[in-house]
């Protein structure tokens, strides 16, 4: 493995990944506080300080090990989840949806922001590959986080959104999966089910949406 290429890849992706996970988790905490749960606020987790959200194993060690083990073909990681007491929300079932949507929502906005920055740099005649690749990495990282976190299985955001949308009887049944949800999701990821049936189709749709939103800017530039 080319160490210089690895270092360059790490440098290109470091800032986008830090922003993606930090704002994602802070958005959950901010939304929870807005709807009545101040747990994350009292624990100092509603912050843009990445050190508050980085998990040494899930954010650093696991992605690096997977990168070396699969030669970059498969990467996965996670941050420290922001603590949310859904029972403290003013309307737990309804507000749970908005708290869960906050994280993926800001990832979609960040993907758009990186796209805008890419077009602005090109419009100003900036041809430095490092900065252009960082913008593309920012779009990719945030689209991946947006789509993956919407997978409809707890404890992912999509699962909590689905729990909030389903009638009580089915919501309770689905919520009981949460203690084993992480392992189920990992099995589906490793088997390729998530990638084939969820990630690729929805990422394609998301990039099409971003392209549509960026079209006016591309014409101006």
Q: Output the 3-class SS for 90-132.
A: CCHHHHHHHHHHHHHHHHHHHHHHHHHHHHHHHHCCCCCHHHH
Q: Compare 73 and 135 and report the one with higher pLDDT.
A: 135
Q: Of residues 25, 128, 178, 211, which has the active-site annotation?
A: 25
128 is catalytic: no
Among 46, 156, 188, 32, residue whose Cα is nearest residue 99: 32
Q: Residue 10: what pLDDT? A: 81
Phi, psi of 152 (to 5 degrees): -80, 60
Q: Cα torsion for 148, 192, 195, 149, to the nearest 10°? A: -10
Q: Residue 201: what pLDDT? A: 95
Q: Is the pTM of this model over 0.75?
A: yes
Q: Where are the beta strands (DSSP E) in the chain?
A: none
Distance from CA of residue 215 to its chain's centroid? 24
- Under the banding of pLDDT at 50, 70 and 90, the label for residue 73 is low
Q: Residue 57: what pLDDT? A: 72
Q: Residue 160: what pLDDT? A: 95
Among 57, 19, 55, residue whose Cα is nearest residue 145: 19
In this structure, of 53-67, 95-109, 141-155, the range with the lowest mean pLDDT score is 53-67
Q: Residue 89: what pLDDT? A: 94
Task: Say yes or no to pLDDT of 147 above 60.
Answer: yes
- Under the banding of pLDDT at 50, 70 and 90, the label for residue 77 is low
Average pLDDT score over the chain: 88
HSE-CB at 146 with a 13 A cutoff on CA atoms is: 24
Domain count, the chain: 1
- Neighbouring CB atoms inside 10 A of 118's CB total 21
Residue whose token pair is 């992706």? 13
- Under the banding of pLDDT at 50, 70 and 90, the label for residue 72 is low
23 token code pair: 């704002």
Q: Compare 66 and 135 and report the one with higher pLDDT.
A: 135
**Average pLDDT over every residue of 130-153:** 94
Q: Compare 50 and 140 and report the one with higher pLDDT.
A: 140
% the chain with pLDDT above 90 = 58
Range of the domain at 213: 3-220
Residue whose token pair is 């958005």? 27
Q: Residue 6: what pLDDT? A: 74
Question: What does each C-alpha distance from 16 to 13, 53, 96, 107, 112 come to in angstroms?
Answer: 5, 14, 27, 10, 13
């Amino acid at each position: 493995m080319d160490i210089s290429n690895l270092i360059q890849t790490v440098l290109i992706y470091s800032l986008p990944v830090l922003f993606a996970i930090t704002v994602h988790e802070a958005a959950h905490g901010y939304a929870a506080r807005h709807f009545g749960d101040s747990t994350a606020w009292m624990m100092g987790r509603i912050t843009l300080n990445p050190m508050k959200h980085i998990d040494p194993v899930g954010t650093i060690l696991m992605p690096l090990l997977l990168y070396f083990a699969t030669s970059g073909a498969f990467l996965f990681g996670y941050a420290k989840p922001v603590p949310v007491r859904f029972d403290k929300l003013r309307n737990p079932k309804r507000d749970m949806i908005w708290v869960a949507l906050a994280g993926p929502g800001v990832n979609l906005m960040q993907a758009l922001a990186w796209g805008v920055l890419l077009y602005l740099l090109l419009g100003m005649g900036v041809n430095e590959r490092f900065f252009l690749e960082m913008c593309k990495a920012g779009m990719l990282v945030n689209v991946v986080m947006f789509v993956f976190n919407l997978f409809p299985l707890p404890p992912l955001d999509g699962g909590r959104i689905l729990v909030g949308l389903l009638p009580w009887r089915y919501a309770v049944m689905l919520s009981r999966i949460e203690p084993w949800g992480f392992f189920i999701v990992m099995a589906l990821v490793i088997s390729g089910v998530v990638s084939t049936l969820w990630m690729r189709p929805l990422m394609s749709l998301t990039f099409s949406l971003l392209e549509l939103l960026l079209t006016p800017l591309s014409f101006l530039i």
